């Protein structure tokens, strides 16, 4: 184990992670969106402030999810752009699972992806990835307003690939 991240999370084996203890402050029921742009436009109208971090969770049945996943990498670790060139793209239709993600304010650009960033995991927790597109059909969106941001750097330099994924 190379290091221990905040909250006891091991940071061995991955170059970047955004984590939080999820404690929703706001639940928006009945969210219907035919694609990711519609969902983020909807969320833009419902965020109490655009200058805050939000953890976002959606549990339910999704008409459509398109996600990408990069295979496990081995040392010497390639740059993220090279790793992504071998990514697999999955499409799920009428799938149950969980979408988790973050909204990061514009002021956080460079430290994290500004705006929305979602990952999907099937309900059996065996498949998923970085969300490229998705649709919702009446699911509840939970938001955890998060005013604090802590950055923990990896001393071995494994974090050199940045937060793009």
Which residues contribute to the site for Zn ion (CB under 5 A)? 130, 165
**CB-wise, 66 or 130, nearer to Zn ion?**
130
- Shortest approach of Zn ion to residue 58 CB, angstroms? 15
The alpha carbon dihedral of 11, 112, 65, 137 has a sign of positive
Closer residue to Zn ion (CB): 37 or 138: 37
Nearer to Zn ion by Cβ, of 66 and 165: the residue is 165
Between the alpha carbon of residue 28 and those of residues 21, 42, 46, 114, 123, the distances in Å are: 19, 10, 9, 22, 21
CB of 30 to Zn ion, least distance (A): 26
Residues in contact with 34: Cβ distance below 8 Å, sequence separation at least 6, in sequence order: 135
Min CB(130)–Zn ion separation in Å: 3
Q: Which is nearer to Zn ion, 69 or 145 (CB)?
A: 69
Closest distance to Zn ion from the beta carbon of 15 (Å): 12
Instruction: Note whether 63 and 139 are within 8 A (CB).
Output: no
Q: Which residue is nearest to Zn ion (CB)?
A: 130
């Amino acid at each position: 184990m190379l290091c221990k991240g905040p909250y006891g999370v091991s940071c061995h084996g991955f170059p970047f992670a955004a984590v939080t203890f999820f404690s929703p402050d706001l639940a928006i029921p009945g969210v219907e969106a035919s694609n990711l742009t519609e969902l983020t436009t909807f969320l833009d109208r419902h965020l109490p402030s655009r200058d805050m971090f939000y953890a976002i969770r959606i549990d339910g049945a999704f008409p459509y999810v398109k996600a990408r996943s990069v295979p496990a990498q081995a040392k010497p670790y390639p740059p993220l752009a090279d790793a992504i060139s071998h990514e697999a793209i999955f499409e799920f239709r009428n799938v149950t699972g969980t979408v988790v993600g973050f909204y990061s304010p514009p002021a956080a650009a460079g430290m994290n992806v500004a705006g929305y960033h979602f990952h999907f995991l099937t309900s059996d927790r065996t498949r998923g990835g970085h969300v490229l597109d998705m649709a919702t059909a009446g699911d509840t969106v939970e938001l955890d307003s998060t005013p604090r941001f802590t950055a923990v750097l990896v001393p071995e330099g494994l974090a050199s690939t940045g937060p793009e994924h």
